[in-house]
Amino acid sequence: MTNENHGSGHSGARDSGARSPGARNSGGQNSGARRNAQGRERNRTSAPSFTAAAPSARTRKADPARLVAFEVLRAVSGEDAYANLVLPSRIRHHHLDKRDAGFATELSYGALRGQGTYDAILARCVDRPLEQLDPAVLDALRIGVHQLLAMRVPAHAALDQTVGLARAVVGAGPSSLINAVLRRVTAKDLQEWIATLTHGQTDASTIAALTYSHPEWIVRALRQSLVAHGRVVTEITALLEADNAAPVVNLVALPGLGDLSEALAEGFTVGPLAPDSALSSGGDPGRLLAVREGTNRVQDVGSQLVARALAAAELLPRRGSAAEPDGERWLDLCAGPGGKAALLAALAGQCGATLLANEPAPHRAKLVKQALAAVPRDVWTVRIGDGREVGEQRPEGFDRILVDAPCTGLGALRRRPESRWRRKPSDVGELGPLQRELLASAIKAVRPGGVVAYATCSPHPAETNAVVVDALRKREDLELLDAGAVLDGVSLTGKLGSGHEKTAQLWPHIHATDAMFLALIRKKA
């Protein structure tokens, strides 16, 4: 796709041709040349030309799209905010048009994802440890590096605009430093920098971490996850690349309550994997009336399939009766913010079942209620409470239960650009007891013949198979259903089940979904 370029050095967002660390380099490795925004090759071996003016004489105004990106990075690194929550409000606040909103999205998400590689590059260009820099200056530098190395923004525009931004938001003093550092960054293109950073490194995970901008422990965890779920370790490159690509927006039309006609008329395409789903690679889904009304919802297709698989899993009849007298009772034990609960409730409504959506965090329970608002009120109830208590309180009370357990989210890194830098290796072990207690509670709460779906948006074996194996070991009345086969049955392709084991693991680089794990556990009747 070709990008035109206007005065501020913008190119369009997702179609900007951005190359984050680890994204495939269509120009070949170390080509020494890169296309600028007009599609012309810029020879990186000759000295790049910059505005002759000193930083003080350059633009003093912050371009609004770059300002939005800067504000997102400041909120993320300074206030522990989530980029996907801050970005839309900053875009609205600065009244960005579609093109500038796209640019701000690519710049903020790209700078956050690429932070590991960019900081390693910056460390070679700054004459002091990065921790000693004003955090606002460091964020401005990250924004500059992403434009210089991964977006088709001409170097002079990236430099001028980043220095202008710095002058406007952090003052004239640091702008000279930013100017000098970014000039050093322009000495090499991204592939050359990666070659420099990895020179002399022999460990494959260290090299992948620097190349694909992931913490090294996550690279190791994902390699381990691939092997644990029957894939080959060499897929790690494709998996890390998929984490760095801007994910497409997945939409689901709630069955029986909405349809996709508006989305398709607005440029979405029919989703190939799940029924009633659609895809879009750009634009704000909030512009759709059906999304605002809640009958269409933004939801990763992997999550859609997990909810549909639970609804479709085969139950055994209740003891002493062939059919459910009052319709089935479904439970979503960890429902916040309500994505799967909404789809489950719509599916429940279609077959005369009811859904109890449980969530302990009151603000997230409120989100669950909002998510469920489009579903008839007599189908669902929201409970605010600890899911670990439900098994004791409602033993054998439910036919189908979803345990979408709190997890590290290592399978959804592409959607949460900052999360890879927030997670710690100790999170994996710390979540284990809660995951096991929630699953044990669900197993108590399911009736004989009923099914518990244990799901995580992480492929880590400690959060997936290990939790399921422990639960199965503790009781004799449980059987594992073939989750891959059930997923195949609810998908449009019928080709999702790994065939490696009875649990199922989806992958961003294979299925273009989040790396959702699913086990379906049935209590013997």
Ligand X SMILES: C[S@@+](CC[C@H](N)C(=O)[O-])C[C@H]1O[C@@H](n2cnc3c(N)ncnc32)[C@H](O)[C@@H]1O
User: Catalytic positions, please?
Assistant: 457
Closer residue to ligand X, CB minimum distance, 50 or 82: 82
CB of 307 to ligand X, least distance (A): 8
Distance of CA 366 to the CA centre of its chain: 22
The H or E element containing residue 193 is helix 190-198
Q: What is the rounded CA–CA span in Å between residue 167 and residue 44? A: 27
Read off the DSSP letter of residue 513: S
Size of the site for ligand X (CB under 6 A): 20
Q: How many Cα atoms are found within 13 Å in the side-chain-facing hemisphere of 507?
A: 23
> With binding defined as CB under 6 A, does residue 387 bind ligand X?
yes
Could you say which of 282, 406, 448, 489 contacts ligand X (CB under 6 A)?
406
Helix ranges (H only) for 396-457 are 419-422, 425-445
Name the segment binding ligand X (CB under 6 A); options: 19-27, 233-241, 358-366, 411-419: 358-366
Report the relative pairing of strands 296-298 and 249-253 from DSSP bridges. Answer: antiparallel
Helix/strand/coil (H/E/C) assignment for every residue in 215-271: CHHHHHHHHHHHHHCCCCHHHHHHHHHHHHCCCCEEEEECCCCCCCHHHHHCCCEEC
Read off the DSSP letter of residue 153: -
Read off the DSSP letter of residue 53: S
> With binding defined as CB under 6 A, does residue 333 bind ligand X?
yes
Closer residue to ligand X, CB minimum distance, 361 or 525: 361
Q: What is the rounded CA–CA span in Å between residue 380 and residue 314? A: 22
Under a CB-based contact definition with an 8 Å cutoff, are residues 368 and 361 in contact? no
Could you say which of 27, 32, 282, 337 contacts ligand X (CB under 6 A)?
337
CB of 335 to ligand X, least distance (A): 5
Name the segment binding ligand X (CB under 6 A); options: 109-117, 311-319, 327-335, 348-356: 327-335
Under a CB-based contact definition with an 8 Å cutoff, are residues 517 and 453 in contact? no
Read off the DSSP letter of residue 37: T
Is 334 marked as binding a ligand?
Answer: yes
> With binding defined as CB under 6 A, does residue 336 bind ligand X?
yes
> With binding defined as CB under 6 A, does residue 340 bind ligand X?
yes
Closest alpha carbon to 355 in 337, 325, 375, 370: 375
Residue matched to tokens 């949460």: 416
> With binding defined as CB under 6 A, does residue 386 bind ligand X?
yes
Under a CB-based contact definition with an 8 Å cutoff, are residues 298 and 291 in contact? yes
Name the segment binding ligand X (CB under 6 A); options: 5-13, 284-292, 329-337, 506-514: 329-337
> With binding defined as CB under 6 A, does residue 114 bind ligand X?
no
> With binding defined as CB under 6 A, does residue 64 bind ligand X?
no
> With binding defined as CB under 6 A, does residue 335 bind ligand X?
yes
Helices (H) and strands (E) in the chain, counts: 22, 14
> With binding defined as CB under 6 A, does residue 488 bind ligand X?
no
The H or E element containing residue 356 is strand 354-359
> With binding defined as CB under 6 A, does residue 394 bind ligand X?
no
Could you say which of 136, 163, 246, 334 contacts ligand X (CB under 6 A)?
334
The H or E element containing residue 380 is strand 380-384
Which class for 324: exposed (0-12), middle (13-18), buried (19 or more C-beta within 10 A)? middle
> With binding defined as CB under 6 A, does residue 373 bind ligand X?
no
CB of 484 to ligand X, least distance (A): 21
CB of 382 to ligand X, least distance (A): 12
> With binding defined as CB under 6 A, does residue 252 bind ligand X?
no
> With binding defined as CB under 6 A, does residue 366 bind ligand X?
no
Is 485 marked as binding a ligand?
Answer: no
Closer residue to ligand X, CB minimum distance, 138 or 375: 375
**For helices 172-185 and 155-169, angle between their N-to-C axes, nearest 10 degrees:** 160
Is 359 marked as binding a ligand?
Answer: yes
> With binding defined as CB under 6 A, does residue 361 bind ligand X?
yes
> What string marks each residue from 257 to 296 as x (binds ligand X by CB under 6 A) or -?
----------------------------------------
Closer residue to ligand X, CB minimum distance, 167 or 297: 297
Is 424 marked as binding a ligand?
Answer: no
Q: How many Cα atoms are found within 13 Å in the side-chain-facing hemisphere of 45?
A: 4
> With binding defined as CB under 6 A, does residue 404 bind ligand X?
yes
Is 338 marked as binding a ligand?
Answer: yes
Could you say which of 184, 388, 432, 478 contacts ligand X (CB under 6 A)?
388
> With binding defined as CB under 6 A, does residue 338 bind ligand X?
yes
Direct distance between the N- and C-terminal alpha carbons of the chain, in angstroms, rounded to an integer: 58
Residues of span 425-444 touching ligand X by CB under 6 A: 438
Q: Is the dihedral of CA 313, 400, 477, 460 positive or negative?
A: positive
> What string marks each residue from 298 to 317 as x (binds ligand X by CB under 6 A) or -?
-----x--------------
CB of 24 to ligand X, least distance (A): 31
**What are the residues binding ligand X (CB under 6 A)?**
303, 333-340, 358-361, 364, 386-388, 404, 406, 438
Q: Which residues are annotated as a binding site for S-adenosyl-L-methionine?
A: 334-340, 359, 386, 404
